[in-house]
């Protein structure tokens, strides 16, 4: 993914899955498309990765903690 939307949420009381769902809702409304990839800092993922439909959630070290990089994976 070369382009996407960067989402910031540093609320420590909110679970990652809810942060992702809020960001996905905003992405869909703003761009009118369905993203299929979310990159997060590895420190944000626990032992098990959350699952949301067909969306891939992947750890990516360059993404800062509390940020989500949401977009469409390049083919």
The model's pLDDT over 52-72, given as tens digits with 9 standing for 90+, comes to 899 999 999 999 999 999 999
Least confident of 8-12, 27-31, 51-55: 51-55
Helices marked H in 1-75:
16-31
Beta-bridge partners for 39: 58, 69
Q: Are 68 and 20 in contact (CB under 8 A)?
A: yes
Query: What are the boundaries of each domain within the chain?
Result: 4-56
Cα separation, 64 vs 51, whole angstroms: 21
pTM for this model (two decimals): 0.90
**How do beta strands 56-59 and 37-40 pair?**
parallel
């Amino acid at each position: 993914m070369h382009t996407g939307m960067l989402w910031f949420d540093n609320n420590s009381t909110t679970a990652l899955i809810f942060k992702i769902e809020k960001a996905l809702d905003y992405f869909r409304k703003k761009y009118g498309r369905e993203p299929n990839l979310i990159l997060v800092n590895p420190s944000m993922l626990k032992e098990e990765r959350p699952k949301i439909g067909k969306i891939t959630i992947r750890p990516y070290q360059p993404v800062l903690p509390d940020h989500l990089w949401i977009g469409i994976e390049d083919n």
